Structure 1
Amino acid sequence: MSDLSAQNLTIASIEVEGNRMADESLILSVSDLTVGSVLTSTATQDAIRHIYDLGLFSDVQLLGEIEDDKYIDLIIKVEEYPVVTEVQYKGNDEISDKDLREIDSIRIGQMISPNQVLASVKQIKAKYQDKGYYRVKIESELKEVTDDPLTNEHILVFNIDEGPKIRIREIEFVGNEVFTDDKLRSKMGNKPKGFLRSGNFDPEKHEEDKEKIVQFYREKGYIDAAILSDTVIIDEVDPRWMTVQIEVYEGPRYYFGETSFYGHK
């Protein structure tokens, strides 16, 4: 067998090896390699890239047997991504399997790439963080269904360490001189834990709260007001608690008349 170190050979034949689910005609079509054409270095690189771009294979190689230093019997050797026959979730006490499946993009019976698994991990993590589990850890593993080398079936397992639910201990503001922290907090939907308040942190509500704060300033004449940054700080001693810190820019106050307005520093 040759690794195609010799170039500019005429292709005498083409075979595909290693494909179990992927259609051979599809592989041949995207490779742009045809019997009778010359196998150049560029054609080799393009073929490998185009086959990879299908998103079905973890490895693609072009091999072949050279005849008379002119011709090559070409072999396109591929290694398919594993096929998922089942998805399992372990360690999920706060979110049901059913709810996780609804947001998980993995589908039974499809080949999956590492990037697809990573995307699912991010989706699951986002779901937990929406519920206040900011220290959730998720690891994935693929388990072979059978030792039969002719199959490529795997069980995808997500091992979940939910960690503690984190609540808001305090909401602090930086840069506010005109309005107090209490005044700005009163405009927010997210609240620190207190009597009849859970202290749960809602990311969507947090985005709305920032808009409410800016709108409040503008209604009071601070047209240039803006949120410069917002930070969630997890308590290192007791990770069940967080502090939300919001940095505001107030800017000058504008006074509006019937036909003109001016700023007051």
Structure 2
Amino acid sequence: MKTRLYLLTLFITVCTIGLRAQDTTEVRQLPTQQVDYSEPKEYEIGEVKVTGANFSDDNAIRIVSGLKKGNKIKVPGDDIKRAMQNLWRQKLFTDIQIVQEKVIGDVVFLEIILQERPRLSRYTYTGIKKLYEEDLNTLLKPFLLRGGIVTDATKVNAITAIKNFFIKKGFLDVEVEAIEKPEEKVRNAILLEFAVDRNERVKVQDIVFDGNETVTDKKLRKQMKNTKVKRRFLASSKYIEDDYEADKRSVIDFYNTIGYRDARITDDTLWRDEEGRLFLGLSVDEGDQYY
């Protein structure tokens, strides 16, 4: 059995919120040679072996690490630490070790041992109708590539895209969770499941106007055919972004028909009260009336 001297070991634990790295150092003395770590010694690199790189190119790993055959390094020193940092920066691995295989005179033989991140095999959805899936797949293409690495940032971007998709359809309280599952049929691969809970569409409680001096709020609300407020005997409409944008254009069209050709909406805001009811606010600049 080979006896190895561990120069530095970093272990990273991947969790749903982020990455936590823990540094540990383990030293085993070679029976044929005592190593004094109180005084750095310079070695020439004889060879750098790479193991565990199933998806990555061994030569590329050596280049990225900066550990090149024939180079001089000091043990202990910053060279190994710098090599580890270079590799971590690629965000391709969950575990990296650089160990000493053997020393012959002043020549050290190193091994880079890697545990690669699992690759994405496929992704699925739960909690939504099939008719949404094609549009969602188009949205997620920039973030999720089959055979690619899935990072926390990747999942956050995908979740945000899914949420925005449903928010535009009026589901302002949509919740999305990304769940990683091992892909049984593919080695070192994962299935990513997006669990979607749309919750109820949010309804409009009231629409408030500001800056309208010649036209009443009531008259302007009537122009908004798709976005209606709650009244005693009438149901309020659900907030849908595309409909709301169309209704804002209808307000301006109405102003144009009565001679306010420069009318514009200068600002619009959305807010919710403690009970979750939705309010819309529109600021209007009517401009001058032309006859």
TM-score scaled to structure 1, two decimals? 0.71
**Corresponding residue for residue 127 of structure 1:** 165
* Residue identity in the other structure for 2:181: K
* Residue identity in the other structure for 1:22: S
Worse overlay, 123-132 or 182-191: 182-191
Q: Say if 1:230 and 1:245, in contact at 8 Å, map to a contact too.
A: yes
Structure 1 residues 189, 135: CA separation in 2 closer, same or farther (over 3 Å shift)? Answer: same
**Corresponding residue for residue 142 of structure 1:** 180
* Residue identity in the other structure for 1:26: A
- 1:115 partnered with 2:157: no
Q: Deviations over 1:42-83 (max 9, x none)?
A: 544543343334342234343334637844322223322212
Q: Say if 1:18 and 1:80, in contact at 8 Å, map to a contact too.
A: yes
Structure 1 residues 13, 143: CA separation in 2 closer, same or farther (over 3 Å shift)? Answer: same
Structure 1 residues 212, 10: CA separation in 2 closer, same or farther (over 3 Å shift)? Answer: farther
Which sections of structure 2, spanning at least 5 residues, go unmatched? Answer: 1-5, 9-24, 26-36
Counterparts of 2:63 and 2:246, CA distance in 1: 50
- 1:21 partnered with 2:55: yes
Q: Deviations over 1:219-247 (max 9, x none)?
A: 959899832x61231662xx5x522234x
Q: CA deviation at 1:121?
A: 1.1
Q: Secondary structure at the match of 1:192?
A: coil
Counterparts of 2:41 and 2:139, CA distance in 1: 49
Out of 236, 252, 266, which is 1:226 matched to? 266
Q: Deviations over 1:155-206 (max 9, x none)?
A: 1111111111123232223566665433554665752257999834333565
Q: Secondary structure at the match of 2:158?
A: helix
Counterparts of 2:70 and 2:193, CA distance in 1: 47
Counterparts of 1:234 and 1:177, CA distance in 2: 27
Q: CA deviation at 1:8?
A: 4.9
* Residue identity in the other structure for 2:139: I
Identity of aligned pairs, percent?
22
How does 1:177-188 map onto structure 2 within 5 Å?
180-185=216-221
Q: Secondary structure at the match of 1:173?
A: strand
Q: Say if 1:193 and 1:200, in contact at 8 Å, map to a contact too.
A: no
**Corresponding residue for residue 36 of structure 1:** 70
Counterparts of 1:69 and 1:189, CA distance in 2: 86
TM-score scaled to structure 2, two decimals? 0.65
Structure 1 residues 223, 72: CA separation in 2 closer, same or farther (over 3 Å shift)? Answer: farther
Q: Say if 1:129 and 1:136, in contact at 8 Å, map to a contact too.
A: yes
Q: Secondary structure at the match of 2:7?
A: coil
Q: Say if 1:214 and 1:226, in contact at 8 Å, map to a contact too.
A: no
Counterparts of 2:252 and 2:84, CA distance in 1: 53
CA RMSD of aligned residues (A): 4.1
Counterparts of 1:82 and 1:157, CA distance in 2: 15
Number of equivalent positions: 247
Which sections of structure 1, spanning at least 5 residues, go unmatched? Answer: 257-265
